[in-house]
Amino acid sequence: MNETPWATPRDGLESPQIRVQALSVRYGDHAVLDRIDLSVAAGEVVVLLGASGSGKTTLLRAIAGFTAPTGGRIALGATDVTRAPPYARGLGLVVQNYALFPHLRVADNVAFGLRARKLPRAQIERTVARFLEMTGMAAYAQRYPRELSGGQQQRVAIARALAIEPPALLLDEPLSALDAPLRAEMLEELRRLHAQLPNTAIVYVTHDQTEAIAIGHRIVLLHQGRIVADGAPRHLHDAPPNRYTAEFFGQANLLPARILDTPPGADGARGYVAVRIADRTIWARRSADAPASGEVLLCVRPHDLRLDADPAAVSEGNRLDGVVRSSQWLGASQRAVVDIGPATVRVDRPASAPLPAAGARVQVTFAAERAVLLADR
């Protein structure tokens, strides 16, 4: 898993760069955003992740000042900007289709915000040169946008937004118009840029979880206008706080389970909880908001499951009996779908393992620390 091995934000949560409090946006009866609370520290990269229509763009546009909230407050630094027009907010904005000004050359596009501020000519030239250099577009300063490729246009759009040296950069699906290799390159580029501007906060909207993991210090998962999860990518992946997060984020297997009141053995002492699934006792971690008893969901990732071809083998730790329904070789890995009584699970294995035959009886095993219990809602 990705450890976000790059600069983490300096601790600035007492005076966050962006603070959104109880923000609501409704159109008629339809609440597009429902009492959103969000703080972004200086230098922090927060990814707004969510399915189509979950309200990501609306939240970003409310922060930028293009969508008037029906409730709540937005503050930038110490200033309340809830009613301030976009031009007074000083935030950098990058949109999906770049929106470069077609009648202006690259250098003039980048200079746009500086000219709006009526800065001295020499200073504008210096700043434009600096940001064109930083984005690798210095050689294209005299070109018109239509003479650039999509990736180059996006670099110019980013340089233009950064040139006003905003406290925060807002990006709405900035890479979705690019093809996969270019997207990976641009993500790397964005991380490098951010390393050079360590105090600039970034709010990055995407519906792509690989992108989210690659760039986010923190991921905020939106679902139907509400925040359903907020945390470091690794944390959301390994300990999803709820069912929606587990399913959206990394296609987890979710098995209905029931917490045992009197767990056998001493595992309980190590912080594990015993549950019953298909007549087997399974040990798992308990997430913060899972109930202490009753029905829960066991969440375990496909690549944390093992298959044992010998159904009679006595293996250490958790095991479930299953029947292979299908299996498929996928190049780098293989995936098996296994029936285990109350549910089916997906199992990802190395490509080199023998492909199990459909109908074969197997044991599905997994470590207790890779399984987490969630509230069933």
Partner 1 sequence: MRAPRGLWRPVVIAVPFAVLGVVFLYPLALLAAEAFANPGGGYGLGTFAAILAGPAFHDALLATLRIALTATAVCLLLGSALALLVRFVAFRGARTLARMVDVYLAFPSFLVALSLTFLYGNSGFVRSLWLSTFGFAAAPAARSFLYGFWGVVLAEVTYYTPFVMRPLLAALEVIDRSQLEVASSLGERPWGVLRRVLIPELVPALIAGGSLCLLLTMNEFGIILVMGVKNVITLPMMIYGKAIDEFDYPAASAVAICNVALSLALYFAYRQALERMPQ
Ligand X SMILES: Nc1ncnc2c1ncn2[C@@H]1O[C@H](COP(=O)(O)OP(=O)(O)OP(=O)(O)O)[C@@H](O)[C@H]1O
Partner from partner 1, ligand X, Mg ion, none contacting 260, C-beta within 5 to 8 A by type: none
Would you count residue 206 as binding Mg ion (CB under 5 A)? no
Smallest distance from ligand X to CB 32, Å: 4
Cβ burial of 79 (10 Å; 0-12, 13-18, 19+) is exposed
Would you count residue 103 as binding partner 1 (CB under 8 A)? yes
Smallest distance from Mg ion to CB 168, Å: 18
CA distance 118 to 115: 5
Would you count residue 113 as binding partner 1 (CB under 8 A)? yes
The residue whose two tokens read 């190590």 is 270
Q: How far is CA 199 from the centre of its chain?
A: 21
Q: Which of residues 70-89 bind partner 1 (CB under 8 A)?
A: 85-87, 89
Would you count residue 250 as binding ligand X (CB under 6 A)? no
User: Which of the stretches 14-22, 38-46, 102-110, 183-191 binds partner 1 when contact is defined by CB under 8 A?
Assistant: 102-110
Would you count residue 32 as binding ligand X (CB under 6 A)? yes
Q: Which two tokens stand for residue 23?
A: 């923000």
Number of amino acids touching ligand X (CB under 6 A): 11
| Bridging pattern class, strands 45-50 and 218-223 | parallel
Smallest distance from Mg ion to CB 57, Å: 3
Q: Which of residues 263-292 bind partner 1 (CB under 8 A)?
A: none
Would you count residue 352 as binding ligand X (CB under 6 A)? no
CA distance 240 to 188: 26
Smallest distance from Mg ion to CB 174, Å: 12
Which 3 state secondary structure label does DSSP give 235?
A: helix
Would you count residue 262 as binding ligand X (CB under 6 A)? no
| Bridging pattern class, strands 333-339 and 344-350 | antiparallel
Q: For residues 213 and 221, which CB has a smaller minimum distance to ligand X in the complex?
A: 221
Cβ distance 303 to 353 under 8 Å?
no
Would you count residue 217 as binding ligand X (CB under 6 A)? no
Interface with ligand X (CB under 6 A), residue from 4, 17, 39, 57: 57
Interface with Mg ion (CB under 5 A), residue from 17, 57, 206, 209: 57
Cβ distance 225 to 37 under 8 Å?
no
Q: How many residues does the structure list for the chain?
A: 377
Q: Report DSSP state, residue 338.
A: E
Partner from partner 1, Mg ion, ligand X, none contacting 54, C-beta within 5 to 8 A by type: ligand X
Return the H-helix or E-strand segment holding 297: strand 294-300
Would you count residue 175 as binding ligand X (CB under 6 A)? no
Would you count residue 347 as binding partner 1 (CB under 8 A)? no
Q: Which two tokens stand for residue 311?
A: 């159904």
CA distance 305 to 253: 10
By the criterion CB under 6 A, which residues form the site for ligand X?
27, 32, 50, 52-58, 207
